Amino acid sequence: MSNILIIKHGSLGDLIQANGAIKDIKEFYPNRKVFLLTSRPYSIFMSECPYLDGVIIDKRLPRWNIFFLYNLKKLLSKYNFTKVFDLQNSNRTKFYKNFILKNSEWSSSEDTLEVGQTKKDFDNYPVLDRMELQLKKNNIPTKYIKNIDLSWAREDPSALIQQYTNRDYILVFPFCSKKHLNKKWPYFKDLISRIRREYKNNYSILVAPGPDEIEEAKGLNANIVMNNEQPINIKMLISLIYGSKFVISNDTGPAHIASHLKKKGLVLFGRHTSAKKVSIESSIFKALSVKNLADLDVDTVMREIKSNLN
């Protein structure tokens, strides 16, 4: 039997955003096996997704590494992929189309363009709109692209939460990738102090750092959520966000999770992109956008929190 391949390498926020498209594709091909090609950090998490029949790890080594390309092509050829949905739409995946999976029918953003439209113009659309147009081009009903269901990724976090608080909690995500420091608002420590003064004992303030963020978290006046002295996994992160009263974040994966879990919260944007383009804002998960994050003061952020938290 021929199989279906979806390509989405990451980041975490990107994979969260793609969950609806993955579910739509699986429902359209109920009698075909659907596989995901993704990066190693997300392979265990996505292997538990009920809309997938398997996950294949792409090491994403340099394209001049002939040995890597040969082994990847050999691996993928075993699955008899007759249809590929490229949801990454990168230069790497375009290369794969031409040299690794050239015998498969391919769906990408380039195949979705209207006459006279450029990929640059298309890439300015909100990310969920782009995926929706791509699937519609393949006559796939898009029931879930903008109605992402993460219930499969939740587990019971109560035992973990009880270690850190016995009341409602606000989750703060002051971290970001070292490659994207322009997304980082520099005043989270001051904001946490303000929240504590304003709300006193009404809420606990929790942070959930990744492996490279633990030392930074220690400098904040917040409870650091860990599991046996290790960072929590993605499913527990989703569960922790689901149980929160409010989320405050840079433009990172946890902000996308909070938005699609329909949580109240606030995400902070600089000039790097817009909330509309990354499809993150909802009626209760708000974006505060400025040209320069360093110019965004704590008072302004605190006013937004108070108007949305209460």
Q: How confident is residue 172, by pLDDT bands cut at 50, 70 and 90? A: very high
Cβ neighbours of 120 (radius 10 Å) = 7
Average pLDDT over residues 253-278: 93
Phi, psi of 70, deg, nearest 5: -60, -45
Instruction: Tell whether the model's pLDDT for residue 178 goes beyond 80.
Output: no
Q: How confident is residue 198, by pLDDT bands cut at 50, 70 and 90? A: very high
Instruction: Tell whether the model's pLDDT for residue 75 goes beyond 90.
Output: yes
Instruction: Please give the pLDDT value at position 310.
Output: 74
The half-sphere exposure of 12 on its side-chain side, counting CA atoms within 13 A, is 20
Instruction: Tell whether the model's pLDDT for residue 183 goes beyond 90.
Output: no
Shortest CA distance to 288 belongs to which of 271, 277, 304? 304
Domains 3-149 and 153-309 share a fold: yes
Average pLDDT over residues 36-54: 96
- pLDDT, tens digit (0-9, with 9 covering 90-100), for 2-12: 899 999 998 89
- pLDDT, tens digit (0-9, with 9 covering 90-100), for 100-146: 998 899 999 999 999 888 888 999 899 999 999 999 999 999 999 99
Indicate the class that CATH gives domain 3-149.
alpha beta
| Cα-based angle 20, 51, 247 (whole degrees, multiple of 5) | 45
Lowest mean pLDDT among 6-15, 170-179, 241-250, 288-297: 170-179
- Rounded to a whole number of angstroms, the distance between the first and last alpha carbons of the chain is 55
Instruction: Please give the pLDDT value at position 271.
Output: 87
Q: What's the CA gap between 91 and 95, in Å, rounded?
A: 6
Could you tell me the residue ranges of all domains in the chain? 3-149, 153-309
Average pLDDT over residues 227-255: 95
Q: How confident is residue 254, by pLDDT bands cut at 50, 70 and 90? A: very high
Average pLDDT over residues 250-274: 93
Instruction: Tell whether the model's pLDDT for residue 179 goes beyond 80.
Output: no
Q: Give the dihedral sign, CA 236/242/247/252.
A: positive
- pLDDT, tens digit (0-9, with 9 covering 90-100), for 214-237: 999 999 989 999 998 899 999 999
Instruction: Please give the pLDDT value at position 85.
Output: 98
CATH superfamily of 153-309: Glycogen Phosphorylase B; (3.40.50.2000)
Instruction: Please give the pLDDT value at position 129.
Output: 95
Cβ neighbours of 157 (radius 10 Å) = 20
Instruction: Please give the pLDDT value at position 115.
Output: 87
